[in-house]
Amino acid sequence: MTEIESLSQADAANELMRLAKQIAYHSKRYHAEDAPEIDDADYDALVRRNNELEAAFPALIRADSPNSQVGAAVEASPLAKVTHAQRMMSLDNAFAAEDVEEFAARVRRFLNLSADAVIAMTAEDKIDGLSCSLRYEKGKLVQAATRGDGSVGEDVTANVRHIADIPQELGEEAFGFPEVFEVRGEVYMAKEDFAALNERLLNEGRALADQRGQEFDPATVRQFANPRNAAAGSLRQKDANVTASRPLRFLAHGWGEVSMLPADTQFGVMNAIMKAGIPVSPELKRFESVAEVLAHYAEIERRRADLDYDIDGVVYKVDSLAWQARLGFVAKAPRWAIAHKFPAERAQTTLEAIDIQVGRTGKLTPVGRLVPVTVGGVVVSNVTLHNRDEIGRLGVRPGDRVVIQRAGDVIPQVVENLTRDEARAPYLFPDHCPVEFGGCGSEAVAEEGEVDVRCTGGLICPAQKFERLRHFVSRGALDIEGLGEKSIEEFLRLGWLDKGPADIFRLKSHRAELLGREGWKEKSVDNLFAAIEAKRSPDAARLLFGLGIRHVGAVTARDLLKGLGDIARLPEKAAEIHAYLEANPQGEGESDGKYTTRKVEAFKAILEVRADGIGPAVAEALADFFHEPHNRDLWDDLLSEVSPPPYVVETRESEVSGMTVVFTGKLETMSRDEAKAQAEALGAKAAGSVSAKTDLVVAGPGAGSKLKQASALGIRVIDEAEWAAIVAAAG
């Protein structure tokens, strides 16, 4: 954003025009349509920028300046319009203690008060609700209206008669029955009532779907984004019966047209309104110094999340009504009041529980369940805790008081634990996939050097099942044509794939049921079953890759089977690795990075392989997978349905036999895995990096450092077309 001092008159005029349009649009979305698109902090930033520009360029202030507008005009609405007897104003904002001190200094200067004169002020929390005026004549409620644009609002008289906090008649003992007394305040919805309303709407949608015999989709239910939207949407109903069914409340914060006042101070009148039977904020207090109101602000901010309702700041008002009258108003706000806003991005609340989400790849992600709190205009009840290490760093446990942060569309996160020093046991991250959160009970481990903890259950884990099955039938694995994502989702929903991939080969037993389902005709069913039957004797490397064992990709699967030959030997080899790890938990011998040289050689000896790609990460992943009884059962079940032949690597004589080949850059006619497979079939070794042992580099477009290194070492470099010619010429 350009510094104001650097702007020309033309640039400033253009920016003021854009800001006027932006602010008017977002004001309409908030006040008239109850559907804000940006949070309060972003809106306030636009207003601050506009105010700074107007102060620097007073000659450029526009007729449609946001400072001359209040709320938003009432346009298309089923409710009648009401003209306010006295305009409903808005408030100027303060964002820092210095702004509040300057507000008090302005009051002192305007009234020409001495430096030691006491400026008494009231302070009360600023409720995030819908502004509403209640007109009482001779003590009886005759009209209620929304603020609208400050001059014209909507008639909601029939609706507010259903709000229990709003009496139909004022209590005479307060100050008699004045000819006219207009109370102004906020219609709001308590946090607990808001949560119950959304839950009720969800249950009603579920019941309607059941009644119609349809599958229930929560996304079809219109729920409210936050309590303010819920209150506004509930009050501005054409049918007052809808309003009656919603738990709305009201708190008074001031008054409009009155024929008499029961006191000569703000605090005195508000107490009289309370005695008349209309609730006022329990946080309303009177103070005699800026330091005291700022301390009250800090205290309310500390307890913000514990209040029954959402607030976005604290409002200060000069207490003396005589001084208020002298101070008067600017274009849209009184000089005698200011709203000290909270930072919208942060809030305090309580961490009630830590749940564990199991992702489709087995990753265990902790999610904090919070006492709901509004942050940046959005009700937040869940927060990411990222991983086990982050929980340890924050020291969070259920019951802790935490500060959460939300910026824009970023997922809310905990930035501070306020009660970490309390003497309570630390949270223990699960070492098994949590069944209570949809997991399978398998071991959950973090590999050496990694922060993520993962379930080793794989295909037997409900949370991972869809993704694992989708991978199992994918092109690089078993490549079963006709069994796509939609079909897998459908068969899982029907319970036909509950036992894992072996159930794919038993789908034929559901032929009659499948023929009766939408989209499945006899030909498509027969084609699917034929494609499945064609994979009863799958390529062993494809089958191993299809299991989705961590670190076992297509090339690694082939490298493993080159040594073992028979895929059925994998479980016993995995058991040997597991036994070795238990006997040698810290490793042994000469250090070689994070693993020891002897450990690397031990794994290769057990697996009977020589390939550089088969290291401890692969070996440990195999050990973890087959150590799980669930996975061994799944493996046995699968081998009862398929019979992969022994894995034999057939090589052809070629000009690259015995060479080490490196592929780099983008390959346009084949995948990297296919290229490596071709090299192996020609008797060559496919390496991942260029070294003095490299004989040939195949470079595609975008080749970078590997190509430069090959040139520096004088290694032969060819393109993809030349490689294709070598493959075609092989014997």
3-state secondary structure of 509: helix
Cβ burial, residue 124 (10 Å; 0-12/13-18/19+)? buried
Query: Of all helices (H) and strands (E), which one includes residue 191?
Result: helix 191-212
Q: How far apart are CA 504 and CA 531, in angstroms?
A: 11
Task: Please pick, among 28, 81, 126, 508, the residue that the annotation labels catalytic.
Answer: 126
Query: How big is the CA angle at 84 (ends 79 and 87), to the nearest 5 degrees?
Result: 130
Write out the DSSP string of 136-184. EETTEEEEEEE-TTSSEEEB-HHHHTT-TTS-SB--HHHH---SEEEEE
**Phi then psi dihedrals of residue 442, to 5 deg:** -70, 165
What are the start-end ranges of the H helices in 368-415? 388-394
Residue with tokens 């119950």: 196
Reading the block at residue 376, the tokens are 């940046």
Write out the DSSP string of 227-284. HHHHHHHHHS-SSHHHHHTS--EEEEEEEEEES--S-SBHHHHHHHHHHTT--B-TT-
Reading the block at residue 297, the tokens are 């602000």
Task: Give Rg (Cα) of the chain.
Answer: 36
First and final C-alpha spacing in the chain:
67
Q: How far apart are CA 113 and CA 105, in angstroms?
A: 10
Q: How far apart are CA 395 and CA 228, in angstroms?
A: 33
In the 8-state DSSP scheme, what is residue 28? I
Write out the DSSP string of 617-673. HHHHHHHHHHHSHHHHHHHHHHHTT--PPPP-------TTTT-EEEEES--SSS-HH
Q: Which residues contact 229 (CB under 8 A, 6 or more apart)?
A: 34, 35
- Contact 366/391 with Cβ under 8 angstroms? yes
Tell me the CB-side half-sphere exposure of residue 217, using CA atoms within 13 A: 3
Other C-beta atoms within 10 Å of 702: how many? 9
- Contact 403/373 with Cβ under 8 angstroms? no
- Contact 619/596 with Cβ under 8 angstroms? no
Query: Of all helices (H) and strands (E), which one includes residue 157?
Result: helix 157-160
Q: How far apart are CA 157 and CA 411, in angstroms?
A: 40
Q: How far apart are CA 202 and CA 219, in angstroms?
A: 10
- Contact 358/460 with Cβ under 8 angstroms? no
Alpha-carbon distance values, 447 to 363, 550, 587 (Å) = 12, 10, 15
| 126 carries an active-site annotation | yes
The catalytic site residues sit at 126
